[in-house]
Structure 1
Amino acid sequence: MQNELAAGSHQQLHDESIVFDASMVAELSDDHIDRMRRGGVTAINHTVCTPYATTREALSQIGAARRWIDAHPDELVLALTVDDVRRAKAESRQAVLFGPQDTEMIGADIGLLNTFYDLGTRFLQLTYQRQNLIGAGCGENEDSGLTHFGREFVREMNALGIVVDVSHCGERTGLDAMSSSSTPVVVTHSFAHELSPHIRAKTDDFVRALAAQGGVMGITTLSGFLYYPDDKTRRPDLKRFAEHVAHVAEVGGVESVAVATDYEETLYREEYESSAVAAMVGVRSFDDRRAIGMEDGSRFPNITQALLQQGFSPEEIKLILGENWMRVLKEVC
């Protein structure tokens, strides 16, 4: 079956699978809905608040996303549980989960965490690049780990049922989060440091620790993160993406790896090349910012094909495409 699918009939496997993009900034538009429908995407983790947003800004941004979902009841559903995601799959709708990539909008008022949970937050990243009240981001020169407040914050996330995300955390802060959390911690979007060294990548030791406590790491399809160390100007393709997936699967097991494009759909050509996003990922060209074969969400079936060609079985691919995320959501939420 695997060879037959790899030869060209991968679409059936893709259509049967829960396809979960664990990190993107969704354009709140009909175009987004159309791209995801053509790509067979079941669910997305939408970065609903901009990093470093104030409380007021974050609440406004969540309100806008909820109104967008409400305006498209036949196409979208705000997903709060695993059952909501499976229902969306059965009804050919797209499940949208909210996953802010920072906690600065909550600040020192841990009671606000309840409010953001009530508004739909189910993933929450502890830090975004820099130090905050929780711990250190990966962009800091020093990482002293999770603070006392950070440990309390993680425990409250566990109690509510919010997935702890350490994608942009420093390594020690991420490891501390794992030791403090009673439920699996995740890295919604990253890549293998051994293949493409970077402050945003995760080391093999980190992946082993993540896998040991049941966590999952999503592999991005951004060109700048999947780069070839011996030829940094070469634009990666989905074979390179599949190599990162295979590396993490070899280190932590296939249950520890998944997909997260990390696409920012709201940055357009005229603003991208001067943006902080372009600087962070190291790819200034708008046309080259994404891996070849995965130019937008409509190309998601190409990921299934690339994983088959890498040698993963259909059962393993279903885990990678979505079931690994579903397991964590069920355990946490």
Structure 2
Amino acid sequence: MLIDGLQCGHFTRDVFTELRQANVAAVTVTCGFWEGTVESLDSLARWRDLVAANSDLVAIATTAADIEAAAAAGRTAIVLGFQNANLFEGRIRFVELFAELGVRVIQLTYNNQNELAGSCYEETDSGLARFGREVIREMNRAGMLVDLSHVGNRSTLDAIDCSDKPVAVTHANPDSLFTHKRNKTDDVLKALAGKGGVLGCATYRNITGDHYSSSLQSWCEMVARTVDLMGIDHVAIGTDRSHNFTKPDYDWMRMGRWTRGVDYGAASAASPGKAPPPSWFTQVHHLGLLPDGLRGVGFKPNEVEKITSGNWLRLYGEVFADGRPAQAATPGFVQSDPVLALS
């Protein structure tokens, strides 16, 4: 079976059907990029409706055991995630609330620096902020996975050091294999592995490059070189596949509400639109080609199992809560909201 650490876009029954054809046991979906609290709640509500309408194919999972149960029942587990921390709107207690709503993966920041950390696209990465440290501790307590995919390298190292639990880069590649601001330097990836974390190797052409996108063998060779760097227990799949996106969707991802200008995200002025998918991954169900592709570049059966599902399952088992966040570190007196106190 397969686990994909990150996909995004507009999921439909057709997409779910193709995931089942590929024997995808779980996928972390992107519920938001720039949205605040209320918009994020709307997104979660839509996801609940979508899953309920397709309950023969998918189910929401909040634990590693849920994923295994869904796979045993012939369904794909949906892991709810966000690619930014805007949903918290600066409120530390919202971490637990969103955890109780089933959210299990949060990226500290998207393409811009925020009040938690620096982004990979900032000229200067300021590192993890005080609020970022508080959020990581709260995510550890609530059973949420810290995602560092779009986070700057300095902030990523800070977050790896700060977290009591393993963290992840759910969708990126080694910068030493394809140079891009979105990819991670070797020192970052070694630190990630050193604390038990996982990298989900991406298929997104803009951060994978034409060579590693040219064939299934080439992409699997990239995975093999990544394993040489990080070790077999720390490399997995995080395709960053998008579904049914059009220009307004890409504009929202790249520009949100924060600019009047044009921003290309991981693309460029020379190639501003949708990046062509890898030649071997033109349809969602082509994910099912990966086990044979990995075997073809020399991975043994137990190693294929780790890359395709085992490493994510191990990490999820260590990080995800069972819906009952641990007792807060400082129980007792809770300061009232000053706005409410004055009303």
Which digits, 9 at most, give the CA deviation of each residue in 1:93-152, with x for residues without a partner? 110001101001212111111221111111110010211110101011111110111111
1:79 to 47, 61, 67: 61
CA distance in 2, matches of 1:184, 1:319: 16
When residues 273 and 24 of structure 1 are mapped into structure 2, their CA distance, relative to the original with a 3 A threshold, is closer
Cα separation, 2, equivalents of 1:82 and 1:323 = 10
Q: Are 2:311 and 1:314 aligned?
A: no
Q: Does the CA contact (< 8 Å) of 2:13 and 2:54 recur in 1?
A: no
Aligned position for 2:331: none
Q: Unaligned regions of 5+ residues in structure 2, if any?
A: 255-262, 321-343
Residue type matched to 1:186 in 2?
A
**Alpha-carbon distance in 2 for matches of 1:160, 1:196:** 35
Would the alpha carbon gap of residues 102 and 191 (structure 1) be closer, same or farther in structure 2, given more than 3 Å must change?
same
- TM-score of the two chains, using structure 1 as the length reference: 0.88
Q: Are 1:103 and 2:85 an aligned pair? A: yes
Question: Residue 196 of structure 1: SS of its match in structure 2?
Answer: coil
Mapped to 1, the partners of 2:312 and 2:12 lie a distance apart of 25
Equivalent in 276, 289, 302 of residue 302 of structure 1: 289
RMSD over aligned Cα, in angstroms?
1.9
Amino acid at match of 1:129: N
Q: What is residue 17 of structure 2 aligned with on the other side?
A: 34
Q: Does the 8 Å contact 1:192/1:247 carry over to 2?
A: no
Q: Which residue of 1 aligns with 2:31?
A: 48
Query: For this pair of structures, how many residues does the alignment match?
Result: 309
| Structure 2 counterpart SS, 1:109 | coil
Stretch deviating more after TM superposition (31-40 or 274-283): 274-283
Q: CA deviation at 1:199?
A: 0.4
1:103–1:124 contact (8 Å) kept in structure 2: yes
Task: Give the structure 2 partner of residue 181 of structure 1.
Answer: 163
Q: Any unmatched runs of 5+ in structure 1?
A: 1-16
Which residue of 121, 125, 135 maps to 2:107?
125
| Counterpart AA for 1:279 | Y
Q: 2: distance between equivalents of 1:264 and 1:164?
A: 21
SS at match of 1:280: coil
Q: Is the alpha carbon distance of 1:274 and 1:134 closer, same or farther for their aligned partners in structure 2, counting shifts above 3 Å? A: closer
> 2:221, 2:297 within 8 Å by CA — same for their partners in 1?
yes
Q: State how far apart, in whole Å, the 2-side matches of 1:244 and 1:238 are.
A: 10
Deviations 1:54-88 (A, max 9, x none): 21111101110011112222211110101100001
Q: How does 1:251-262 map to 2 (within 5 A)?
A: 251-262=229-240
How far apart are residue 276 of structure 1 and its match? 5.6
1:274-293 alignment runs, 5 A limit: 279-282=264-267, 283-284=271-272, 286=274, 289-293=276-280
Secondary structure of 2:6's aligned partner: strand
Matched, 1:244 2:222: yes
Whether the aligned pair in 1 keeps the contact of 2:11 and 2:243 (CA below 8 Å) is no
Q: How does the TM-score come out when normalised to structure 2?
A: 0.85
Once residues 168 and 246 of structure 1 are traced to their aligned partners in structure 2, the CA distance between those partners, rounded to angstroms, is 23
- Contact 1:26 1:32 (C-alpha < 8 Å) held by counterparts: no
- The whole-number CA distance in structure 1 between the counterparts of 2:15 and 2:52 is 15
The answer to whether residue 129 in structure 2 is matched with residue 152 in structure 1 is no
Identity of aligned residues (%): 31
AA paired with 1:325? W
For 2:151, the equivalent position in structure 1 comes to: 169
CA gap of 1:110–1:68, structure 2 versus 1, over 3 A, is same
Distance 1:216 1:103, change over 3 A: same
Q: What residue identity is the alignment partner of 2:172?
A: S
Distance in 2 (alpha carbons) for counterparts of 1:53 and 1:98: 15
Cα distance in 1 between the residues matched to 2:251 and 2:150: 21
State the shift of 1:273 in Å.
8.0
Which residue, out of 201, 210, 218, partners 1:219? 201
| Contact 2:92-2:135 within 8 A present in 1 as well | yes
C-alpha spacing 1:81/1:275, structure 2 compared with 1 (3 Å): closer
2:62 touches 2:104 (CA, 8 Å); kept in 1? Answer: yes
Letter paired with 1:299:
H
SS at match of 1:250: helix
Could you report, residue by residue, the CA deviation over 1:177-234 in whole angstroms, capped at 9, with x for unpaired residues? 1111000010000011111100000111111100000000001111222115xx7xx9
| Letter of the structure 2 residue corresponding to residue 326 of structure 1 | L
Q: Distance in 2 between matches of 1:116 and 1:328?
A: 20
Counterpart Cα distance in 1 of 2:89 and 2:148? 17
1:264 equivalent in structure 2: 242
Secondary structure, in 3 states, of the residue corresponding to 2:227?
A: helix
2:9–2:245: 8 Å Cα contact kept in structure 1?
A: no
**SS of equivalent residue, structure 2 residue 290:** helix
Secondary structure of 1:98's counterpart equals: strand
Whole-angstrom distance in 2 between the partners of 1:272 and 1:95: 24
CA contact (8 A) 1:223 1:290 kept: yes
Post-superposition offset of 1:243: 2.3
Tell me whether 1:332 sits opposite 2:319 in the alignment.
Answer: yes
